[in-house]
Structure 1
Amino acid sequence: MKSLFLSFLFLCLSSFGYAQKFRIPNKKKSDKIHFKLINNLIIIPVEVNGVKLSFLLDTGVSKPIIFNVLHISDSLKFKESETIFLMGLGDGEPIEASKSINNVVKIGEVINLHQDFYAINNSDLNLAPRLGIPVHGIIGYDLFKDLTIEINYSRKFIRLTEPENFKYKPNRKSEKLHLEFYSNKPYINAEVTIKEKNIPVKLLIDSGGSDALWLFEDDSLNIHAGERYFNDFLGHGLSGSVFGKRSKVDGFNLKRFNLKQVNVAYPDSSSIIMAKNHKERNGSLSGNILKRFNVIFDYPKGFVTFKRNGYFKEKFNYNHSGIELAHDGVRLVKEVDDSNRRLKNSNLQNDTGGNNQLVVNVETHYKLVLKPAYAIVELRKNSPADLAGLRIGDLILTVNNKPAYRFSLQEITNKFYDDVGKRVKLKIERKGVVRDYSFTLKSPY
């Protein structure tokens, strides 16, 4: 999948005291929260000052962020204490944010009475169009540092437990790895195989990125894209868009777990200046690999445990169409109103053979309803969709002769990751004109 919004991982925030703390005030000192898995990203329900919101669970962010806060600021009753500037991925300028203190945060039965947030009013930082559901913020280190957190990707729930109450179950099928921390972000040692050579790498664990693997090109380590790659948009950063090369590595190894032909992105060096503050870092391990395991994060003890799940053998595919879609508001759609269908008249008539037949006339009523609209927001140059004539801004009306609004954003996107050779038909609207296009899915390199 496209790597969305990865820049939030690399915030340059100073460390603060830990007076704020997440607690679980029930007898078990544990709670289970169901989440939505969209584009390999975990979206959890979070209540802030009594307002129910949705947050991205991101192991790579040091302080929680709320964005587009102007839409909900009155309800949140934020207490602002200072204005700061944040810098992240991308080659743009730092953005302005307000620090808000002493907020009450609840995640299920988990609660923190004195949580800080960084509120960003930049309308460009909006995850909802790309994910197809409302997302109001990001939370990471402040939650992970206080609790032992089990992420069950296969059954789509997280279990949060106070560390002293968490009990590990002996399991020969899992692997426990040591965590290292730099600027409150977790790193592990792994291994990539490039041109049959095994290369040790230190990677940020980044549940806030939807790609499989990011690597920083380094000739001294023989880490580079090689000859088989394609240039692509990698995602939106806190400080701008991120571009780079996409390819595959022969293998990726976490101790005895081995994945073959893994998608990898090599971001442009100008976009990752902040990420390279940690000199030993070689890249990021993200959602398209993490989802293949059920993972236990134990920050207090400094370990992470991986156990393979049903996603493990899922093939690593790229977008074979070149299209990146986003939710683009709603449109009025004419639908049959079944509740208002009624018999208009009926009568017996003779057919040509002299037999009687009952003719029933039904009066059909229609209604106008609002349905989600999807538009092309990125289009890879020389991709099948680009060569077919599709353009950025095109509104998708039908997909393979079925109305687009009957699909979720992720369901349509998944069709673009289907097998090479499959045919895709799209009906689109461009500047009020309806057009038909079709193309064959093709490997991008």
Structure 2
Amino acid sequence: MLFPFLVSAQGFKLPKSQKFQKVKFQLINNLIIVPLEVNGVALTFVLDSGVSKPILFNLTDKDSVPINNVSEVTIRGLGDGEPMKALSSKGNTFKLGKAKNYNQDLYVVLDKGINFSTSLGIPVHGILGYDLFRDFVVEVNYQANNIKLYDPSRYNPSDKAKSKSQTLPMSIEKRKAYVEGKVLMNNAEDVPVKLLVDTGSSDALWLFHAPEKGLDIPEKHYEDYLGRGLSGDIFGKRTKVNGIKIGNFELKDAKAAFPYRESFGFIKNFGDRNGSVGGEILKRFNIIFDYSRNQVTFKKNGYFKTPFQYNLAGIELQHNGLRYIAESLADANGVVRNDDASFGNVQILLENKTRLSLVPEIIVSSIRAGSPAEEAGLREGDVILAVNGKRIYKYKLQEVLKMLNDKEGKRIKVLIERYNKDLLFSFVLKKVF
């Protein structure tokens, strides 16, 4: 993303007595979700190494966040939409654990269409990137779901050197980090690539179409929704390559995508950048980002051999407000259960026999043409009620997506609501390549 350059003295710091700060995070859809206080208000942000300045969005009437020293600017991010109006704010206080920045610049996007919470299943209020990576050595343990922040001046890289880890050069250009690697294309050719390290992308590998550089789209591919950027949806060609090499590490049969050029319309020239490496690859390592020394350390973890995940069903889901569901409190013999188990924050008891609970509604947000779900008759806007007999209000959004994409050859039965009618659809998950 491109933003106006703000110049001010600022920086995150730890208490002098503290060697490092450990912060737990949630790993949702390959994204790092951290708790962050903004001017004393507890919020949640995506830790995004692909963004230069923090951005606050998805504010509702329930959020009350004081913002300092405001002026209006225009910003643009990934996606095929238009630039948007935003507020530029200076002099804010950010707190992550005991790490604090008392003079943080911030952008505030007021467009209600910018909302990643609906697709992640939890409230997300913004993204934080370069400023944190600049001020600390950041150790990301994807397997233990925590990050450690070290003061660069007190950090000794040799203390973290391990036999199965590898430290590689990392270039910092326009406040973004890049590593070099090789992509093993399907013609068996190893193509050198320079990749943006993007923890804010849930995808695996994005490549820019450049046949003259050996980066041509493989014959086996399909058009797919790749994600949501600040400026709109991103589409491209989904495929896979024989592998990707980063240092001495090699991932075979790697999931890849070639995003359409329109999604990067504001970038006139990619220079020597060939794409991005995102969370579905990065999570296979525990990583130490050391911007101060222009280096990054990779150590493979328990996710390393996990198969790449494809959308076998061909549908995307998102939250769409709330709905009431009815739960009988009586067992098969008519005896009323005496328990407090429920699945919503609001409950209404009817004659002590039926409980109405307010739960998130999950709908089909998009569907891929020619996919098993589309051929079975599912449509965008359908409300998901159950998957293979399991009522989905008991599950998180990402868990429902996993049910729908379990494994090749599995039959999926989906109960949906459409125009106040319940309909049952059935389809078999097929291999995409």
TM interval, shorter chain, is: over 0.9
Deviations 1:61-86 (A, max 9, x none): 0000001335366x321124321111
Match in the other structure for 2:47: 57
Match in the other structure for 1:118: 107
Please state whether the residue corresponding to 1:373 is helix, strand or coil. strand
Whether the 8 Å contact between 2:69 and 2:91 is mirrored in structure 1 is no
The residue correspondences of 1:311-390 to structure 2 (distance < 5 A) are: 311-337=303-329, 365-390=353-378
Deviations 1:200-231 (A, max 9, x none): 00000000001100000101112021210000
TM-score, normalised to structure 1, is: 0.90
- Return the match for 2:281 from 275, 284, 289: 289
1:154 aligns with 2:146: no
Whether the 8 Å contact between 2:6 and 2:105 is mirrored in structure 1 is no
The residue type paired with residue 413 of structure 2 is K
Q: Which runs of 5+ in 1 are unaligned?
A: 1-10, 344-362
Mapped partners of 1:20, 1:338: distance in 2? 60
Match in the other structure for 2:76: 87
In structure 2, relative to structure 1, the CA distance for the partners of 1:441 and 1:64 (3 Å cut) is: same
Mapped partners of 1:240, 1:278: distance in 2? 20
Mapped partners of 1:420, 1:144: distance in 2? 39
Once the two structures are overlaid, the 10-residue window that deviates more, 231-240 or 63-72, is 63-72
Whether the 8 Å contact between 1:33 and 1:159 is mirrored in structure 2 is yes
Once the two structures are overlaid, the 10-residue window that deviates more, 23-32 or 200-209, is 23-32
In structure 2, relative to structure 1, the CA distance for the partners of 1:180 and 1:276 (3 Å cut) is: farther
Deviations 1:272-307 (A, max 9, x none): 233564411100000000000000001111111100
> Which has more radius of gyration?
1
Once the two structures are overlaid, the 10-residue window that deviates more, 60-69 or 333-342, is 333-342
- Return the match for 1:173 from 160, 164, 175: 164
Q: 1:334, CA displacement in angstroms?
A: 1.2
Whether the 8 Å contact between 1:213 and 1:289 is mirrored in structure 2 is yes
The residue type paired with residue 263 of structure 2 is S
Please state whether the residue corresponding to 2:384 is helix, strand or coil. strand
Whether the 8 Å contact between 1:46 and 1:105 is mirrored in structure 2 is yes
Match in the other structure for 1:308: 300
Q: 1:16, CA displacement in angstroms?
A: 3.0
Q: 1:417, CA displacement in angstroms?
A: 2.9
1:71 aligns with 2:55: no
Whether the 8 Å contact between 1:225 and 1:246 is mirrored in structure 2 is no
Please state whether the residue corresponding to 1:220 is helix, strand or coil. helix
1:268 aligns with 2:283: no
Match in the other structure for 1:182: 173
Once the two structures are overlaid, the 10-residue window that deviates more, 329-338 or 58-67, is 329-338
Q: 1:164, CA displacement in angstroms?
A: 1.7
TM-score, normalised to structure 2, is: 0.92
The residue correspondences of 1:175-214 to structure 2 (distance < 5 A) are: 175-194=166-185, 195-214=187-206
The higher-RCO structure (CA 8 Å, 6+ apart) is 1
- Return the match for 1:13 from 3, 23, 26: 3
Aligned residues: percent identity?
Answer: 44
Q: Which runs of 5+ in 2 are unaligned?
A: 338-350
Mapped partners of 2:229, 2:336: distance in 1? 55
Match in the other structure for 1:434: 422
CA RMSD of aligned residues (A): 1.8
Q: 1:93, CA displacement in angstroms?
A: 1.1
The residue type paired with residue 260 of structure 1 is K
Q: 1:18, CA displacement in angstroms?
A: 4.9
Please state whether the residue corresponding to 1:145 is helix, strand or coil. helix
Whether the 8 Å contact between 2:117 and 2:124 is mirrored in structure 1 is yes
In structure 2, relative to structure 1, the CA distance for the partners of 1:23 and 1:392 (3 Å cut) is: same
The residue type paired with residue 42 of structure 1 is I
